[in-house]
Amino acid sequence: MAGSVCDICKKVPPRIHIEGVGEFCLDCYNKWALEKYDGEDTYQYAKNMSVIEPGGAYHTFEIEHMIMGPLVTWEAREIGGGYKFREISYIDENGAAVASRFFKKIARGVCTKSLDISDYPTSNTVNRGDKSYSLKEKGVVHIEEDEDDYSRLAFFVDGMKFSEEEFAKLFGAVPGFDLHYQIHDASDDLPGEHDYPVYERITKDGLLKEFHTLVSEYCSGGHISSDNAFNLSYELEQIKRRIRVLVEAGDRDVAVEIAGEIINTLKDIKCEDGIFPYGDMAAICRIVDPYRTNDELWGPLFWDEE
């Protein structure tokens, strides 16, 4: 039956469907994508790894990567457990080197605990067996849709799954305190045991300096290659996130000034395939003002090549 096995190896069920190209298993898709993007196949790494905690607990992970244009996304899923880790790399990085970086991140993630476990179950903590669980002073919570019930959320802490109600009870030990939070992409760096989050003041000068540094890193002479355009676009995510913080703080005027300068700079960059940077400019417009059109804010963003 068509579609039941990968078009290339004809062995395993396909996982990736590309309109007009075919259906592939992950391995065959990655090989196809590497060829398409002239990437070198440096992705020889162990697809399984285990982390042994200092206390002796054993966690085994299944690791896979997927080539997405010039970016590569990595995922590690614990077999028989709830840990999940993500990483992003660039296609021109050495695959084996990225894998070993990712292994270290997984080991750090597993060995840095966010839960306090005590032998004394109490009514205001989460109790399982003869243990009681609450959150430490700082840590990481991975949020997902609950695969057993998509109308609910599941919270993963130290690889353990907590329901919505249980998650609230993880704070049972700290009534009267405040929770300061920050949302991160799951591929961001993870804090180590001795890392503490610090506040960063977002300023127009700081953000623009960072932006222009990125531009000078990826562009030369007003030109950008399509691979670098993809990379720059990826790095712009962090800048967009902070522009959004300014808007949410009520500093829309400053956000508009920053966005204006960023857009005016991007406008003048010529990309070989002509696609960049319209998507990013439009996205930044939407952040600072979802109601006004691009034209009203900064003049036409799209122009005809003469």
131-135, strands of its sheet edge to edge: 115-118, 131-135, 126-128
Judged by CB, which is closer to Zn ion: 6, or 72?
6
How far CA 160 is from CA of 73, 274, 281, in Å, comes to 24, 46, 40
6 contacts Zn ion (rule: CB under 5 A)? yes
Size of the site for Zn ion (CB under 5 A): 5
303 alpha carbon, distance to own chain's centre: 32
Judged by CB, which is closer to Zn ion: 28, or 215?
28
What is the footprint of Zn ion within residues 239-278 (CB under 5 A)? none
Q: 297 by DSSP, 3-state: which? A: helix
CA 239 to CA 263: how far, in whole Å?
Answer: 13
Judged by CB, which is closer to Zn ion: 8, or 111?
8
Q: What is the nearest approach in angstroms of Zn ion to the Cβ of residue 29? A: 8
Q: What is the nearest approach in angstroms of Zn ion to the Cβ of residue 23? A: 9
Judged by CB, which is closer to Zn ion: 9, or 282?
9
CA 167 to CA 156: how far, in whole Å?
Answer: 9
Q: Which of 9, 57, 79, 117 touches Zn ion by CB under 5 A?
A: 9
Q: What is the CB-side half-sphere exposure of residue 77 using CA atoms within 13 A?
A: 4
**Range in contact with Zn ion (rule: CB under 5 A) among 17-25, 59-67, 186-194, 249-257:** 17-25
Q: What is the nearest approach in angstroms of Zn ion to the Cβ of residue 33? A: 13
Q: 132 by DSSP, 3-state: which? A: strand
Q: 90 by DSSP, 3-state: which? A: strand
Which neighbouring-strand residues pair with 143? 155
What is the footprint of Zn ion within residues 78-97 (CB under 5 A)? none
**Range in contact with Zn ion (rule: CB under 5 A) among 21-29, 113-121, 130-138, 222-230:** 21-29
25 contacts Zn ion (rule: CB under 5 A)? yes
21 contacts Zn ion (rule: CB under 5 A)? no
| Chain position carrying tokens 């697809």 | 47
Q: What is the nearest approach in angstroms of Zn ion to the Cβ of residue 182? A: 40
Judged by CB, which is closer to Zn ion: 27, or 251?
27
Judged by CB, which is closer to Zn ion: 26, or 245?
26
Cα dihedral sign for 149, 143, 169, 117? positive
DSSP 164-189: HHHHHHTTTT-TT---------TTSP
28 contacts Zn ion (rule: CB under 5 A)? yes
Q: What is the nearest approach in angstroms of Zn ion to the Cβ of residue 7? A: 7
Residues lying near Zn ion in the complex (CB under 5 A) are found at 6, 8-9, 25, 28
